[in-house]
């Protein structure tokens, strides 16, 4: 089979102490937990090893899975003030009991501690507000707390998680260049991919995602990165999902990997 099914972009982190931190809570989170033995309940029917969740924004793709964590199990929820305010404005997320789920706003550029001795830092990434908060014609490459990346560090190793990026700025390039592993926005191969395939009416950049291909695409912009580089958040129209496709061969020849469900990264 040349294409394997994939769920949406979430990452689970642990230093081996049994506590796990999620980076984003995708709508598919229940299926992701079911497929990952380490995330199964440890105490009785509902005890969860998930101790924290860090959000890169308030898009449905990043937050809907939180509703799978509403079974009165304690965890800490981290995000920018903009992201946590968007959740607070949606009464559905009141299902996350405030006496158990501590919402902790974190400014960009300020390190904070996660379970297991992990240090994290949010950093601004060019992007836009969530689709459901758009008014008129939004700025699609604004740097604000509405769209961020996450850098995590432990034991001298660093990982950068950037599931949505409208552009690569010098500051973003500097940030990801110091990571041992970079997980980067691979939503579309070409900017007009959804229009050309008849699956949508917007370009990638209009949706806040830079394409992989092109002189101003991520493949060219991040050509000098060392370390391990992995494309994530890949749309089902993107030909890099097809094993053996010329687009897949091209990104692999450039040193990039294509993410898949169940991928394990050891740092």
pLDDT at 1: 54
Q: What is the mean pLDDT of residues 18-28?
A: 96
Q: Is the pLDDT of residue 73 over 80?
A: yes
Q: What is the mean pLDDT of residues 189-212?
A: 96
Task: Supply the mean pLDDT for the chain.
Answer: 95
Structurally, how many domains does the chain consist of?
1
Q: Residues with Cβ < 8 Å from 145, sequence gap 6 or more? A: 80, 81, 82, 83, 107, 108, 122, 124
Whether 178 is covered by a domain: the verdict is yes
Question: What count of other Cβ atoms lies within 10 Å of the Cβ of residue 102?
Answer: 13
> If we measure between CA atoms, which residue out of 109, 54, 110, 112 comes closest to residue 83?
54
Q: Is the pLDDT of residue 107 over 80?
A: yes
Q: Is the pLDDT of residue 4 over 90?
A: no
170-184 per-position pLDDT tens digit: 999 999 999 999 999
Q: Is the pLDDT of residue 47 over 80?
A: no
Question: What count of other Cβ atoms lies within 10 Å of the Cβ of residue 56?
Answer: 26
Query: Residue 141: is it exposed, middle or buried by C-beta count within 10 angstroms (0-12/13-18/19+)?
Result: middle
Whether 118 is covered by a domain: the verdict is yes
Q: Is the pLDDT of residue 127 over 70?
A: yes
pLDDT at 23: 98
Whether 123 is covered by a domain: the verdict is yes
Percent of the chain with pLDDT over 90: 90
Is pTM, for the whole model, over 0.85? yes
Q: What is the CATH number of the domain that holds 49?
A: 3.60.15.10
Q: What is the mean pLDDT of residues 244-261?
A: 96
2 phi and psi, to 5 degrees?
-85, -15
Q: Is the pLDDT of residue 43 over 80?
A: no
Q: Which is more confident, 117 or 70?
A: 117
69 phi and psi, to 5 degrees?
-110, 30
Whether 175 is covered by a domain: the verdict is yes
Put the strands of the sheet holding 20-23 in their side by side order.
Answer: 11-13, 20-23, 50-54, 75-79, 101-105
Domain that holds residue 87: 11-258
Whether 265 is covered by a domain: the verdict is no
pLDDT at 5: 82
Q: Could you tell me which residues are beta bridge partners of residue 177?
A: none
Q: What is the mean pLDDT of residues 158-163?
A: 98
Whether 6 is covered by a domain: the verdict is no
Whether 4 is covered by a domain: the verdict is no
C-alpha atoms less than 13 angstroms from C-alpha of 145 in its C-beta half-sphere = 16
pLDDT at 2: 79
Q: Is the pLDDT of residue 245 over 70?
A: yes
Q: What is the mean pLDDT of residues 9-20?
A: 95
**How far apart are the C-alpha atoms of 157 and 45, rounded to whole Å?**
35
**How far apart are the C-alpha atoms of 30 and 181, rounded to whole Å?**
26
∠ CA 129-166-157 to the nearest 5 degrees? 100
Q: Is the pLDDT of residue 71 over 90?
A: no
Query: How far, CA to CA in Å, does 233 sit from each of 1, 76, 108, 162?
Result: 21, 24, 22, 9
Measured in Å, how far apart are the chain's first and last C-alpha atoms?
30
Whether 2 is covered by a domain: the verdict is no
Q: How sure is the predictor about 200, in pLDDT bands with cuts at 50, 70 and 90?
A: very high
């Amino acid at each position: 089979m040349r294409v394997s099914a994939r769920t949406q972009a979430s990452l689970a982190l642990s230093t081996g102490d049994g506590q796990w931190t999620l980076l984003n809570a995708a709508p598919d989170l229940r299926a992701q937990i079911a497929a990952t033995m380490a995330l199964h309940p440890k105490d009785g029917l509902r005890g969860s090893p998930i101790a924290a969740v860090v959000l890169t924004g308030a898009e449905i793709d990043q937050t809907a899975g939180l509703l799978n964590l509403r079974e009165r199990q304690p965890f800490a929820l981290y995000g920018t003030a903009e992201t946590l305010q968007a959740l607070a404005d949606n009464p559905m997320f009141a299902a996350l009991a405030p006496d158990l789920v501590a919402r902790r706003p974190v400014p960009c550029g300020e390190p904070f501690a996660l379970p297991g001795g992990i240090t994290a830092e949010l950093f601004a990434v060019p992007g836009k507000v969530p689709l459901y908060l758009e008014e008129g014609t939004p700025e699609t490459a604004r740097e604000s707390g509405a769209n961020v990346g996450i850098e995590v560090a432990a034991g001298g190793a660093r990982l950068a998680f950037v599931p949505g990026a409208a552009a690569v700025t010098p500051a973003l390039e500097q940030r990801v260049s110091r990571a041992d592993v970079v997980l980067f926005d691979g939503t579309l191969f070409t900017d007009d991919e959804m229009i050309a395939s008849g699956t949508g009416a917007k370009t990638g950049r209009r949706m806040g995602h830079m394409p992989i291909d092109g002189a101003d695409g991520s493949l060219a912009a991040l050509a000098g990165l060392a370390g391990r580089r992995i494309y994530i958040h890949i749309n089902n129209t993107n030909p890099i999902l097809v094993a053996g496709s010329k687009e897949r061969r091209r990104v692999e020849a450039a040193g990039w990997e294509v993410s898949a469900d169940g991928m394990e990264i050891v740092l």
